[in-house]
């Protein structure tokens, strides 16, 4: 307050503000599929949550995992204060007892990158 005259206060300025932020989290950092028969597929659900107060755009780096895994939807957005169920599918084409892809990045527009590890074993069907 500024005093102009004797006991005559005047307000010079009023300042108000609001902060908006993006806060996305994965409910699991690892999706493990165990053993899956070569040529078949197994799908699990992974939940992504937006704890922020603005819409958040995301995009997975599919180059790292597309040979044996799929994440659907691969890109899109999550409204504020809501959850999104992602379908993670393991679809091995070759036998391999240790398919492990560490730290698959998910870019968040205006936010921090999320990381997910994918694990599975591809086995031959015994006849």
**Annotated domain spans of the chain:** 35-123
CA triple 31-54-74, angle to 5 deg: 35
Tell me, what's the pLDDT at 127? 59
For residue 23, give the nearest of 99, 95, 89, 82 by alpha carbon: 82
pTM of the model: 0.79
Token representation of residue 121 = 């074993």
Instruction: Give the pLDDT confidence of 62-112 residue by residue, as tens digits.
Output: 999 999 999 999 999 999 999 999 999 999 988 887 889 999 999 999 889
**Are residues 89 and 70 in contact, defined by beta-carbon separation less than 8 angstroms?**
yes
For residue 14, is pLDDT > 80? no
Fold topology of 35-123: Immunoglobulin-like (2.60.40)
CA-nearest of 113, 116, 122 to 65 is 116
Question: Can you give the pLDDT at residue 51?
Answer: 92
Q: 88 near 45, Cβ under 8 Å? A: yes
């Amino acid at each position: 307050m500024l005093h102009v005259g004797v006991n005559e206060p005047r307000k010079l300025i009023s300042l108000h503000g609001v902060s908006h932020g993006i806060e996305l989290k994965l409910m699991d950092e690892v999706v493990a599929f165990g053993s899956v028969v070569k040529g078949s597929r197994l799908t699990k659900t992974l939940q992504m949550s937006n704890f922020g107060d603005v819409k958040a755009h995301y995009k997975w780096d599919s180059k790292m995992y597309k040979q044996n895994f799929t994440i659907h939807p691969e890109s899109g957005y999550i409204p504020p204060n809501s959850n999104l169920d992602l379908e993670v599918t393991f679809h091995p084409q070759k036998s391999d007892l240790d398919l492990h892809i560490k730290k698959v990045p998910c870019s968040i527009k205006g936010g921090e990158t999320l990381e997910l590890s994918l694990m599975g074993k591809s086995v031959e069907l015994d006849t």
